[in-house]
């Protein structure tokens, strides 16, 4: 394993010098673009995302305008810049990973937005990934939450997300001593460790999103979930500060 777990178990510091339960530096702004109804810019470490929200507005498509059944329709588009990853990639749109993320955001915010207030209308969330360094889905959710708040779209609570990993590998199942769960991963850690993305509704323990793509012993899930949920609570505090700080300027 390139991630040197032996140094981790000695100094209990990760590759970038964080302890197991520390988030990366988070910098967030709202109302970054004047043209959009709501917008935000979020940095989680080196993951950088620009998000804009348009709507509620009349849908673009000719036939079905807006959502059916008396609720607003949610559209999500994710665009990742060609220079965002380590290798330059063209045409990330339309690949299944991106459409899975779009689907996830649509489903997740569909449960949080009070959509029945806007029948026959569409809310469009546009995400631009400028730089990728792990926790991409989590950062997208956080950025979208901020932009939706900026757009003044009513939600039941903040939807916040972060990642958590289990630092013991699947092979070393028996040495349970040095297996701290880790919070908020960067790309290197994501490649080496089993991790999950967990999204919570505000301060509550309720899990709205839980996506895990790597193989892990089922006993480790509990620890990872607990740390992830704890991270979400802290994340909510940070995002809340940003929104309130912005509000003070008018106060």
Partner 1 sequence: MPREAEISINEREFIKQALQEQIRLDGRAFDVFRSLELTFGEEYGVADVQLGKTRVIARISVDVVTPAPERKFDGIFQIVTEFSPMASPAFEIGRPTDAEVILSRILEKAIRRSNALDTESLCIIAGQKCFALRADVHIIDHDGGLIDASCIAVIAALQHFRRPDVQVEGEKAIILSVREREPIPLSILHQPLCVTFSYFEEGEIYLVDANVAEEQVRQGQVIITMNKHGEICQIAKYGGATVNPLALLNCTNIALEKVKQMSKFIQQKLDEDNKKRNPKGLMNELSAENARENAVIPG
Give the footprint of partner 1 on this chain (CB under 8 A): 96-97, 99-100, 103-111, 170, 196, 199-201, 204-219, 221-222, 225-226, 229
Between CA 242 and CA 251 the distance in angstroms is 14
The answer to whether the CB of 195 falls within 8 A of the CB of 224 is yes
Interhelix angle 136-150/220-248, nearest 10 degrees: 30
Name the residue nearer to partner 1 (CB basis): 49 or 164: 164
Name the residue nearer to partner 1 (CB basis): 33 or 179: 179
Name the residue nearer to partner 1 (CB basis): 15 or 210: 210
Phi, psi of 6 (to 5 degrees): -70, -40
CB of 195 to partner 1, least distance (A): 11
Name the residue nearer to partner 1 (CB basis): 5 or 202: 202
The answer to whether the CB of 52 falls within 8 A of the CB of 126 is yes
* Residues 6 or more apart in contact with residue 149 via CB below 8 angstroms: 30, 38, 155, 158, 243
Between CA 221 and CA 121 the distance in angstroms is 39
Name the residue nearer to partner 1 (CB basis): 45 or 115: 115
CB of 175 to partner 1, least distance (A): 17
Residue in this structure with the two tokens 């701290």, named with its chain if needed: 180
The tokens of 21 are what? Answer: 């339960």
Phi, psi of 25 (to 5 degrees): -65, 130
CB of 103 to partner 1, least distance (A): 5
CB of 228 to partner 1, least distance (A): 9
The tokens of 109 are what? Answer: 């915010």
Q: What 8-state DSSP symbol labels residue 193?
A: S
- Report the phi/psi class of residue 184: left, alpha or beta, with left for phi > 0 and alpha for psi in -120 to 50: left
CB of 205 to partner 1, least distance (A): 6
Name the residue nearer to partner 1 (CB basis): 45 or 134: 134
CB of 158 to partner 1, least distance (A): 13
């Amino acid at each position: 394993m390139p991630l040197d777990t032996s140094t981790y178990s000695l100094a209990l510091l990760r590759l970038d010098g964080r302890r197991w339960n520390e988030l990366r530096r988070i910098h967030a702004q709202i109302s970054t673009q004047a043209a959009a109804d709501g917008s935000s810019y979020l940095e989680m470490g080196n993951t950088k995302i620009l998000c804009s929200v348009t709507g509620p507005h009349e849908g673009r498509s000719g036939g079905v305008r807006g959502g059916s059944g008396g609720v607003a329709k949610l559209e999500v588009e994710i665009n990742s810049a060609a220079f965002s990853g380590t290798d330059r990639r063209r045409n990330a749109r339309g690949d299944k990973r991106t459409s899975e993320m779009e689907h996830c955001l649509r489903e997740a915010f569909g449960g949080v937005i009070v959509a029945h207030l806007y029948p026959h209308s569409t809310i469009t969330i546009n995400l631009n990934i400028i730089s990728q360094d792990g926790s991409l889905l989590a950062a997208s959710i956080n950025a979208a939450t901020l932009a939706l708040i900026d757009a003044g779209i009513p939600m039941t609570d903040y939807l916040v997300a972060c990642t958590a990993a289990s630092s013991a590998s699947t092979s070393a199942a028996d040495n349970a001593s040095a297996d701290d769960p880790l919070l908020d991963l960067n790309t290197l850690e994501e490649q080496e460790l089993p991790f999950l993305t967990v999204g919570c509704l505000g301060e509550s323990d309720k899990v709205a999103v839980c996506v895990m793509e790597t193989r892990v012993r089922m006993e480790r899930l509990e620890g990872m979930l607990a740390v992830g949920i704890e991270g979400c609570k802290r994340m909510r505090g940070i995002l809340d500060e940003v929104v309130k700080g912005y509000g003070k300027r008018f106060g």
